[in-house]
Amino acid sequence: MICLWRLRNFYKVKLTIVNMEIYLDNAATTKVDEKVAEIVNEIMTEDFGNVSSLHAKGRKAAERLGEARKRLAKYLGCDPTEIIFTSGGTEGNNLAIRGLAKANPSKKHIITSVIEHPCVLDTCKDLEKEGYEVDYLGIDSEGLVSLDEVEEKIRKDTLLVSVMHVNNEIGVIEPVEDIGLICRKHGVYFHTDNVQGFLKEALALASIDLMSVSGHKVCAPKGVGFLYVRDGVRILPILTGGGQEGNLRSGTENVPGAVGLAAALDVDFRIGEVRASRDLVIEDLKKIPGAKINGSIKERVYNNISVSFYGIEGESLMLMLNEDKVYVSTGSACASKKLAGSYVLEAMGVDEMYLHGSLRLSLGVDVIGNEDYVVERIRKHVLKLREMSPFKFSEENLSGSLNSSKGGSSLTGGSKSEILGGSTSLEDCSDCVNGDDNDKEVVDNEKEN
């Protein structure tokens, strides 16, 4: 009986390890916190009225919305009237930039950075078609904008400077408070996209005129966010209709989402523990030949790791990790058979042979205690992809490339363009993604022991 009990529990542990999921894509979205979900469900099933309705259900919904607005305002240290609920970061950024432009048609110059979220960059491109001039701030090799360049580019007709607080890909924290002070000195409005920084990195509003936030990045539901608009800053709506949110954002209010976003203020993100785990993972990743950490280590949000591996495809690596139930994202986008390098890494001057081999790990509590397993899986698959490649990698050059993003090619037998179109493409990687079950068992056994 004792032997059977031990055997049964051995397989139980084995099953737990094999089925373990490690979610490391929190910059894409987060799991809704259980307590937040309970509160959201309460609103959806009990206080579900329309805020515009005059009966008791409507008045109760309006009360819950008002409470959420006050909670967020208290956290930020602003007035509740300065909080405009939106559907998320994209709408908030559009409302800030387009709304400010509509309200101030005499000024036609905007400044932003080359690494902003596409919803900011595409909005600026649209405004260029309407006659606006847009200057794009560059970044250094650490991913940081220059305060001197911000000041140099400000003109008499500059309406707005928009620079994100935390970059969504490399996790670098931009000096937005200082940028805001420069803007204030010159009488220019300053907007920051704080989708990736809210509840993660402290940010004072003293020099900020507009700030966008999204709920689903902080364990609140998708489809809700807010735009902070400092009192005295005039913007015009980009949506017309019922005149909700102080006539700045028409549409029936998302009360469950707003209450859930306010409830997320109570979530324990275990920031200190996750930061410690991140540092452990970074140190071990740097030991993998041909690995490079992208962006500033010092000025980085607590849960981000952007890492590139020389001469491989990040998409293939991501899919292999997916088979291990380790969920990450890549730093480059793949459309059909054509690989497009990350515009953020390109702006940093990252070498082409690193550009397509990037991963973004945005950590949460799942990583705590699983640091070694995550690194081992990444290491194994990186070596596997290089082994599959028809090109030979020089160990000397791979080791030397750790300290340089501009290192020369350490491949023989083909050009840079050939390796990106060679046997490590997504189409040719089905065997390495799906046919490595024996290797999975070995690592699982090692973890048990």
Q: What is the pLDDT of residue 409?
A: 33
User: Among the listed ranges 12-21, 148-157, 195-204, 312-321, which one has the minimum average pLDDT value?
Assistant: 12-21
Q: Flag whether pLDDT at 148 surpasses 70.
A: yes
From 3, 78, 219, 334, active-site residue: 334
Q: Flag whether pLDDT at 166 surpasses 60.
A: yes
**Which amino acid belongs to residue 322?**
N
> How distant, in Å, are the alpha carbons of 48, 116, 290, 292, 418 from that of 394?
63, 36, 10, 16, 17
Q: What is the pLDDT of residue 20?
A: 86
Q: What is the pLDDT of residue 347?
A: 97
Q: What is the pLDDT of residue 339?
A: 55
- CA torsion angle 294 357 403 146 (round to 10): -30
Q: Flag whether pLDDT at 203 surpasses 50.
A: yes
Stretch 110-116: mean pLDDT: 98
Q: Flag whether pLDDT at 286 surpasses 50.
A: yes
Q: What is the pLDDT of residue 55?
A: 97
pLDDT category at 337 given cuts 50, 70, 90 is very low
pLDDT category at 393 given cuts 50, 70, 90 is confident
Q: What is the pLDDT of residue 331?
A: 63
Token pair, residue 317, equals: 């690596």
Residues 260-277 pLDDT 10s = 999 999 999 999 999 999
Which has the closest alpha carbon to 354: 417, 308, 304, 302? 308
Q: Which residue has the higher pLDDT, 18 or 281?
A: 281
- Whole-number mean pLDDT of the chain? 86
pLDDT category at 397 given cuts 50, 70, 90 is low
Q: What is the pLDDT of residue 269?
A: 98
pLDDT category at 399 given cuts 50, 70, 90 is low
Which has the closest alpha carbon to 366: 280, 275, 271, 274? 274
The reply to whether 334 belongs to the active site is: yes
Quote the percentage of the chain above a pLDDT of 70. 81
Stretch 56-81: mean pLDDT: 98
Instruction: Determine the distance from the C-alpha atom of residue 311 to the mean position of all C-alpha atoms in its chain, rounded to a whole number.
Output: 24
φ and ψ of 198, to 5 deg: -60, 130
φ and ψ of 111, to 5 deg: -120, 130
Pair type for strands 210-214 and 189-193: parallel
Q: Flag whether pLDDT at 314 surpasses 60.
A: yes
Pair type for strands 109-113 and 304-309: unpaired
Q: Flag whether pLDDT at 209 surpasses 80.
A: yes
pLDDT category at 389 given cuts 50, 70, 90 is confident
d(CA 71, CA 47): 18
Cβ contact 65:226 at 8 Å: no
Q: Which domains does the chain have, with CATH numbers?
A: 34-266 (3.40.640.10), 271-448 (3.90.1150.10)
User: Among the listed ranges 16-30, 65-79, 116-130, which one has the minimum average pLDDT value?
Assistant: 16-30
Q: Flag whether pLDDT at 442 surpasses 70.
A: no
pLDDT category at 341 given cuts 50, 70, 90 is confident
Quote the percentage of the chain above a pLDDT of 90. 78
Token pair, residue 328, equals: 């990450």
Rounded to two decimals, the pTM is: 0.85
Total length of the chain: 449
Stretch 380-405: mean pLDDT: 72
> How distant, in Å, are the alpha carbons of 61, 110, 147, 353 from that of 379?
52, 44, 38, 18
